[in-house]
Amino acid sequence: MKRLTLQENTVSALTDPPKREHWDLILEPKVAVFDLQLREVWRYRDLLWLFVRRDFVAQYRQTVLGFLWHVIQPLLTTLMFLLVFGRIANIPTDGVEPALLFYMAGITVWNYFSTCLTGTSTVFVTNAAIFGKVYFPRLVLPLSVALSNIIRFGIQFALLLGFMIYFAFNGHPIHISWSWLGIPLLVVLMAGLALGLGIIISAMTTKYRDLAVLMTFAIQLAMYATPVAYPLSFLKHRSYIWIININPMTSIVEAFRYILFGKGTFDLSALAYSLGFAIVSLIIGIVIFNKVEKTFMDTV
């Protein structure tokens, strides 16, 4: 067997043509600002479901009551609303009786939107350690937030249905119609709205950390600018009702109550406005997301 000296090996490495290598995955920077690489997200769907499970399980890990907090929190909030807005302020409930169902329906919808928006708006900062170690489509994490909160929404919606069935046996019949099929569409609309706004804020939070604090405060204020604790008809003749109407969540909350109870305000044009708002926010979020994704590890 012929042995080559170190010099001959060096000359051979410099003169021989390079061998062609085959790679299973090539990571390249994105060029198009609207490229979401959804096919790649689908390839990582197993990782997506792992993040969904992590977000749901870790939320109340090492707690005594565990997932029961998903029931206790809306129930206690509903009782507080019933006392303050129903008994003390004596605000009407648009004919929805008992009033407990009115408040619980609004809280169920708002909880899903607010938790999605809050979770998505900090997804880059809270998961920076993962981003720096391994590659995966970054869109997986915002999607996992929206999906994990659907489980929470399902638990709270089941609680609402339980109370509706209870009151049905006490003289308050359940309003069941084909319109109930619109509930999943409202959930998708809320998810799109929360993802769009959340991705915008999350991309900006990588550079301006104050936005995370401001977001928590803004969510609390936004609930009072949404007809969660009062019906939209209560503000019909108020001069500031336009502030409530420009809120894209207003029509969603009102439509949710109308579907469940057959009472309240159902405005297709207002829902179309909410849909347009969600689409525009998603488009803007996609553009900002794709721009920030290239450099956010340098600023997080």
Residue 44 falls inside a structural domain: yes
Nearest to 252 by CA among 266, 234, 236, 238: 266
Considering the chain, what is the average pLDDT of its residues?
80
Q: How far apart are CA 215 and CA 46, in angstroms?
A: 30
Q: Across residues 11-18, what is the average pLDDT?
A: 51
Residue 18 falls inside a structural domain: no
| 273 pLDDT above the threshold of 70 | yes
Q: How far apart are CA 164 and CA 158, in angstroms?
A: 10
Q: Across residues 81-91, what is the average pLDDT?
A: 89
- For residues 168 and 135, which has the higher predicted lDDT (pLDDT)? 168
pLDDT digits (tens, 9 = 90+) for 134-155: 777 778 888 888 888 888 899 8
Residue 194 falls inside a structural domain: yes
Q: Across residues 196-209, what is the average pLDDT?
A: 79
3-state secondary structure the chain: CCCCCHHHHHHHHHHCCCCCCCCCCCCCCCCCCCCCCHHHHHHCHHHHHHHHHHHHHHHCCCCCCHHHHHHHHHHHHHHHHHHHHHHHCCCCCCCCCCHHHHHHHHHHHHHHHHHHHHHHHCHHHHCHHHHCCCCCCCCHHHHHHHHHHHHHHHHHHHHHHHHHHHHHCCCCCCCCCHHHHHHHHHHHHHHHHHHHHHHHHHHHHCCCCHHHHHHHHHHHHHHHCCCCCCCHHHHCCCCCHHHHHCCHHHHHHHHHHHHHHCCCCCCHHHHHHHHHHHHHHHHHHHHHHHHHCCCHHHHC
Residue 252 falls inside a structural domain: yes
Q: Across residues 246-265, what is the average pLDDT?
A: 91
Residue 103 falls inside a structural domain: yes
Considering only 41-50, 87-96, 245-254, which range has the smallest mean pLDDT? 41-50
Res. 165 pLDDT band, cuts 50 70 90: very high
Would you state the pLDDT for residue 110?
94
Distances (CA, A) of 172 to 50, 76, 138, 168, 260: 42, 22, 47, 5, 13
Q: How far apart are CA 203 and CA 139, in angstroms?
A: 12
Q: How far apart are CA 143 and CA 136, in angstroms?
A: 13
Would you state the pLDDT for residue 48?
83
**Cα first-last separation, the chain:** 56
| 24 pLDDT above the threshold of 50 | yes
- For residues 38 and 264, which has the higher predicted lDDT (pLDDT)? 264
Residue 284 falls inside a structural domain: yes
Would you state the pLDDT for residue 300?
55
| 45 pLDDT above the threshold of 90 | no
- For residues 261 and 203, which has the higher predicted lDDT (pLDDT)? 261
Q: What percent of the chain has pLDDT over 70?
A: 80
| 131 pLDDT above the threshold of 80 | no
- For residues 167 and 57, which has the higher predicted lDDT (pLDDT)? 167
Would you state the pLDDT for residue 86?
87
Inter-residue contact 252 to 230 (CB < 8 Å):
no
- For residues 77 and 30, which has the higher predicted lDDT (pLDDT)? 77
Q: How far apart are CA 97 and CA 69, in angstroms?
A: 26
Task: Give the range of the structural domain holding residue 75, as residue numbers without chain letter.
Answer: 37-299
Residue 210 falls inside a structural domain: yes
- For residues 35 and 212, which has the higher predicted lDDT (pLDDT)? 212
Counted domains in the chain: 1
Distances (CA, A) of 136 to 41, 72, 118, 119: 8, 36, 22, 19
Q: Across residues 44-73, what is the average pLDDT?
A: 75
Res. 49 pLDDT band, cuts 50 70 90: confident
Residue 9 falls inside a structural domain: no
| 25 pLDDT above the threshold of 60 | no
Considering only 158-167, 215-224, 288-297, which range has the smallest mean pLDDT? 288-297
| 4 pLDDT above the threshold of 50 | no
Would you state the pLDDT for residue 238?
84
| 251 pLDDT above the threshold of 60 | yes
